[in-house]
Structure 1
Amino acid sequence: MRSEPVLPLQTALINGYAMSYTEYGSGTPLVLVHGSLSDCRYWKSQMAPLGKSFRVLAVCLRRYWPEAWDGEGDGFSIEQHASDVLEFIDTVAGGPAHLVGHSRGGRVALEAALRQPDALRSLTLADPGLPLPGGDDSRGGFRQRALALIRQGDVEEGLALFVDTVTGPETWQRMVPWFKEMVRDNVGTLFGQADEQPEALTPQQIGTLKLPTLLIGGALSPAPYPAVLDALSQWVPHAHRVTVVGSSHGMNLGNPRAFNGAIDAFIGG
């Protein structure tokens, strides 16, 4: 049975915000950026295995747990989160870092890489949440529908709708207790995310990436993630692509051995 370390929550002042994070291991910094309704706890299956080779730092983005945000006020945006990640790398990681982003966190990580590539040693995007130019997201405003359910008091139904849409039918029902607790703790961030309309990055913008880039997808991930990775594979010709077998969107939890091995082989090989 796999044993996972219980890591203390640390805090650093980042762009005027008390950003929480956990840390494990030593050596070259490896920064992990979570996606929607998540926080540093999402990476619990990565900390010790990757910490054997790297100084692993898992952040809690602005407005996510442990802050209990109610959706009031600003500071929730891809741009702000990318700025915070870059400042975190500079002040806490202490220099250029390997950067890993999952889902919405992949969009944050990509924004950071395009803005300040010299801050990074490599970029890993796991099923990144990117709107494609000219693309039409067939999921039909699921964020707004999930938020509407939550606002009327149907929190479990709203969270189930969100999680099942991005990961697959009945995922919420199968989720373990700690994961559901993490999602509930971050329910307020949907107020910020539902109104987000990040500008679609063009192939020309993404094509300027010269960093070593790893693209990771789940073999069972639903649309639009496979199409996003197909596009990125074309736009970043030097990128290396890995598919995690037997797993959907949460591939780092569904098959952590394969996920961790892909990252270790790519940036440590």
Structure 2
Amino acid sequence: MQSLRVNGYDMAYLDIGKGPPLVCVHGSLCDFRNWSPVLGPLTTRHRVISVSLRHFFPDHWNGSGHTYSLAQHIEDVIAFIARLDVGAVDLMGHSRGGHVCFRVAQRRPDLLSKLILAEPGGEIDATLDPDYTHAPWPMAGPISAAADAIAKGDVDGGLEIFLTALQVPWKRLPATTRQLLRDNATTLIGDARDERIPFSKSDAESIKVPTLFIGGANTRGLLPKVLHALAAHVPNSRTEMIAAATHAMFEQAPQTYSRIVLDFLEG
């Protein structure tokens, strides 16, 4: 594990393999370890740089202050890539990390060669969704309830609330996965008070780097809707859906996921 001082914060990361640099950004409740299932295949052809966002493991944040936000994470990833000083990189993000990477590509396309978005998290506005109505984000309630439980010390209870809303059975998860989630549980306190800007058609059309969208064919809810709405309007993009997989696609089908990513990066 290494660290890089970025915007007054030490960002921890793993740097493995040789070749063109691929920066990987995890989603909610995860950290740089999240990409472990695909590090083997990806590092055969690429230098994989897997970063932990501000206040995620190995940090042990107590949930206080206002230094946790989507906007801060976007600023941090931009600064992190610039400080790596390796030229343009390929950038890959999953879930909330996919949202971060989308905004990085929107603001600083000069830093990127290609973009990979694995079920990017967020909402889509009326320009992308004809059924859009201004209402609270469906996950806002579960995140708030989970954050309250975690703030009161009931970490497992809070995580179960959050995961149940995503149709993920907490008690059936492997022990190592449950521990990774516990290590990052307090970040849900930050998520509960974060402000999210929905994706728009103009946002999607502004992405200028070649983009790959990856999804799990069995993922339900808002995530596939967001993926396909964005993919329909991002120029020079393609979409790949992994059969029999859900949101944790690179854990469930690491070889397939890696093959899709490598084919895109080398195509």
TM interval, short-chain normalised: over 0.9
Partner residue of 1:216 out of 210, 214, 217:
214
CA distance in 1, matches of 2:115, 2:124: 19
Deviations 1:107-143 (A, max 9, x none): 1001111010010011111011021114454446110
| Alignment-derived partner of residue 29 in structure 1 | 21
In the alignment, which residue of structure 2 is the partner of 1:50? 42
2:190 maps to a residue whose letter is G
SS in 2 for 1:26: coil
Unaligned runs of 5+ in 2: 127-131
Deviations 1:47-68 (Å, cap 9, x if unpaired)? 2210111100000001111110
Hey, what does 2:129 align to over in structure 1?
Answer: none
Q: For residue 95 of structure 2, what is the amino acid of its counterpart?
A: S
What does 1:183-222 correspond to in 2, within 5 Å?
183-222=181-220
Asked if the contact 1:96–1:121 (Cα under 8 Å) also holds between the matched residues in 2, the reply is yes
1:101 to 87, 93, 96: 93
The aligned amino acid for 2:187 is T
| 8 Å contact from structure 2 (residues 27, 93) kept in 1 | yes
What is the Cα deviation at residue 92 of structure 1? 2.1
| Inter-partner Cα distance in structure 2 for 1:152 and 1:12 | 32
Partner SS, residue 106 of structure 2: helix
Amino acid at match of 1:227: K
Q: Which amino acid aligns with 1:35?
A: G
Question: What pairs with 1:79-98 in structure 2 (closer than 5 Å)?
Answer: 79-92=71-84, 94-98=86-90
For the aligned residue pairs, the C-alpha RMSD in angstroms reads: 1.5
Task: Quote the sequence identity (%).
Answer: 36
* Moved >4 Å (runs of 4+): none
* Contact 2:148 2:189 survives alignment (8 Å): no
- How far did 1:93 drift? 5.6
Question: What secondary structure does 1:141 align onto?
Answer: helix
Partner of 1:268: 266
TM-score, normalised to structure 1, is 0.92
CA distance in 1, matches of 2:60, 2:68: 13
Within 2, Cα distance between the matches of 1:140 and 1:208?
27
Q: Aligned pair 1:117/2:115, yes or no? A: no
Are the aligned partners of 1:31 and 1:97 in contact in 2 as well (CA < 8 Å)?
A: yes
Alignment check: 8 A CA contact 2:219 2:246 kept: yes
**2:246 is the counterpart of 1:254:** no
Q: CA deviation at 1:199?
A: 1.2
Q: Please point out which of 30, 47, 67 is paired with 2:59.
A: 67
